Amino acid sequence: MSNLRSYFGEDFEEIAKKIKLLKDIPRFIAFEGIDGSGKTTHAKLLRKFLRTLGFSVVLVKDPGTTQLGEKIRRILKSNLKISSTSELFLFLAARRQLVEDVIRPALRQGKIVISDRFTHSTLAYQGRGKMLLPETLPMLCFIASGGTEPELNIVIDVAPEVGLKRVKDRYSSDGGNKDRFELENLDFHRRLRDYYIEISRREPNVILVDASKDVLETFKDVVIKICEFSSDMQFGNR
């Protein structure tokens, strides 16, 4: 992670040149995936990569980043009794604050925003996972984001068995407790993954990256897919 340029070698210069030539690199990119997929690592790597190329980048976490978002995140991660619908509204409130306080101002300043989760997490976890409000959920999500949605969503795809094992290992090594979502069973995570796979087939702005390889190999795919997406955008293929 420390020296991406040397890892990418000649590829780095080539990719850098390509990205700089692209007029339309997406300004708002979200990383999605099941628990333990490694999306947070990739969001951080992309921030580093784009900064190395001279872009101004803001990385946010949904829920999180704002004062309200961080408080909500703590509540959600606690063992407080919260009904599924209340939980949904907490996620949406955190997102709204994030959009107003951080994302919109950053986009207005011409920065690139990378978000660790966004609307598709709600559609996956609350929609597909918990089967909550199937008719109204997309509308509630739209109200929360006010239409400020990622131009590109990158799904970091791993098998649920792999993701859950990583979560388990992480918690056994730091002695912490799993939060309410990470405690959900394998079947729940399989449903989430199915959702992500389905939307990546259906929606042109959702791309899936196979993360069964080593982290930097996977990250290379992330960058290549962003380049492909951007050039398709530029030439009107999407």
Footprint of ligand TMP (CB under 6 A) = 35, 62-63, 91, 117, 121-122, 125-126, 181-182
Q: Which residue, 19 or 156, is less far from ligand TMP as judged by CB?
A: 156
Query: How many C-beta atoms surround the C-beta of residue 60 within 10 A?
Result: 23
Q: Which residue, 61 or 220, is less far from ligand TMP as judged by CB?
A: 61
Q: Which residue, 15 or 152, is less far from ligand TMP as judged by CB?
A: 152
CA distance 97 to 102: 8
Q: Which residue, 184 or 221, is less far from ligand TMP as judged by CB?
A: 184
| Residue 44 C-beta: closest distance to ligand TMP, Å | 13
Which amino acid makes up residue 87? E
| Residue 28 C-beta: closest distance to ligand TMP, Å | 15
| Residue 112 C-beta: closest distance to ligand TMP, Å | 20
Q: Which residue, 35 or 221, is less far from ligand TMP as judged by CB?
A: 35
Contact between 197 and 157 under an 8 Å Cβ cutoff? The reply is yes
Query: How many C-beta atoms surround the C-beta of residue 229 within 10 A?
Result: 23
| Residue 135 C-beta: closest distance to ligand TMP, Å | 18
Q: Which residue, 22 or 93, is less far from ligand TMP as judged by CB?
A: 93
Q: Which residue, 15 or 43, is less far from ligand TMP as judged by CB?
A: 43
| Residue 35 C-beta: closest distance to ligand TMP, Å | 5
| Residue 152 C-beta: closest distance to ligand TMP, Å | 17
| Residue 180 C-beta: closest distance to ligand TMP, Å | 8
| Residue located via tokens 């700089």 | 20
